[in-house]
Each structure stands twice: as C-alpha cells, then as structure tokens.
C-alpha cells in the first residue's frame, strides 16, 4: 500500500517538475536571451531541485533516516545556492544587454509607419497612405 502511495506521489512530483519546464520554454524570449551558460545552469538547477524533491519524498516514505536526509539535503541546498547565484549573475548582466536590444528594435518599428504616412494638405494631420480622405478634416488627400 505504501508503495502505491509513493508511486502516485512520485508521478505527481514528476508532473510538477515537467510542467514549469515546458512553460518556461514558451515564455522565454529566446531571441533576446542567448541560451548558453544560462541555459546550462537552468537545467542544472532543475536537476538539483528535482533531487531535493526526490530526497524529501524518499524521507517521507521512510526510505531515508532523518540524519541521512538532513545531511544530503544540506549538501544539495549548498549546490543549489551556488547555481542560483551564478544564474543571478548572468541574468543581471544580460538584462542590460537585452534591454538595449529591445529598445533598438522598438525604435525601428516605430520609425517605419511614421515615414510612410501622408500629411493632409488642408490641416496637416498625418494619415495612413491608404486613406483617400483626411481622417481629421475630411478633405481629399492629394498625392
Ligand atoms: Zn485634414
């Protein structure tokens, strides 16, 4: 009975590990953040956190003594702390770079429609080139 319970729990734990992994890939702006060292560290983090979860789980199921659980958990936590620290360092350095690139691409898309508008000869309002009449005053736009 206890094995069945463990089996159900472990599949729940597995699901909990896998779901955020997939979500992260969807929302991650992979075009902006280059995944090299950062990606590697993320995977490392997931593995360590997964191991900690497994450890807690085995302890809960009575496979590990309190002492063993505490000792291994401390080791794993220290390892996780190092990885998290490294991720933070990379992210803080990359954020600035990504921000600049985002700003540059935002500027590019903004300047495009501005240069292709037609200004009304009556009131000077800018209209999209497809407009035959001014959206502001209704005058015919000459080309
Ligand atoms: Zn006008």
Residues having C-beta closer than 5 Å to ion ligand 1: 120, 122-123, 125, 134, 136-137, 139
CA of 141 to the centre of ligand 1 (A): 8
Backbone angles phi, psi at 140, to 5 degrees: -70, 135
> Per the structure block, which two tokens stand in for 72?
């291994």
CA of 130 to the centre of ligand 1 (A): 14
The strand pairing partners of 140, in sequence order, are: 133
- Looking at residue 31, its pLDDT comes to 44
> Per the structure block, which two tokens stand in for 79?
């390892």
Sequence-distant (≥ 6) Cβ neighbours of residue 143 within 8 angstroms: 118
- Looking at residue 6, its pLDDT comes to 57
Question: How many Å apart are CA 115 and CA 27, to the nearest integer?
Answer: 32
**CB under 8 A, 24+ apart: contacts of 115-118:** 118/143
Q: Please list the pLDDT of the chain residue by residue as tens digits (143 residues).
A: 666 665 656 666 665 655 555 555 544 554 444 557 778 899 999 999 999 999 999 999 999 999 999 999 999 999 999 999 988 887 787 666 766 776 677 776 665 544 578 889 899 998 988 889 999 999 998 76
CA of 112 to the centre of ligand 1 (A): 22
CA of 128 to the centre of ligand 1 (A): 12
- Looking at residue 20, its pLDDT comes to 54
Question: How many Å apart are CA 139 and CA 143, to the nearest integer?
Answer: 13
CA of 143 to the centre of ligand 1 (A): 13
Question: How many Å apart are CA 29 and CA 25, to the nearest integer?
Answer: 8
- Looking at residue 107, its pLDDT comes to 73
- Looking at residue 9, its pLDDT comes to 63
- Looking at residue 48, its pLDDT comes to 96
């Amino acid at each position: 009975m206890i094995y069945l319970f463990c089996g159900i729990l472990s599949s729940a734990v597995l699901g909990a590990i896998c779901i955020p992994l997939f979500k992260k890939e969807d929302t991650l702006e992979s075009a902006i953040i280059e995944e090299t060292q950062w990606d590697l560290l993320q995977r490392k983090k997931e593995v360590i956190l997964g191991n900690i979860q497994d450890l807690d789980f085995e302890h809960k199921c009575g496979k590990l003594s309190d002492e063993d659980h505490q000792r291994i958990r401390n080791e794993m936590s220290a390892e996780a702390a190092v990885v998290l620290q490294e991720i933070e360092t990379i992210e803080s350095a990359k954020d600035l770079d990504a921000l600049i690139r985002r700003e540059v691409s935002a500027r590019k898309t903004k300047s495009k429609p501005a240069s292709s508008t037609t200004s009304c000869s009556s009131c000077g309002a800018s209209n999209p080139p497809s407009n035959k009449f001014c959206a502001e005053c209704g005058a015919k736009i000459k080309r």
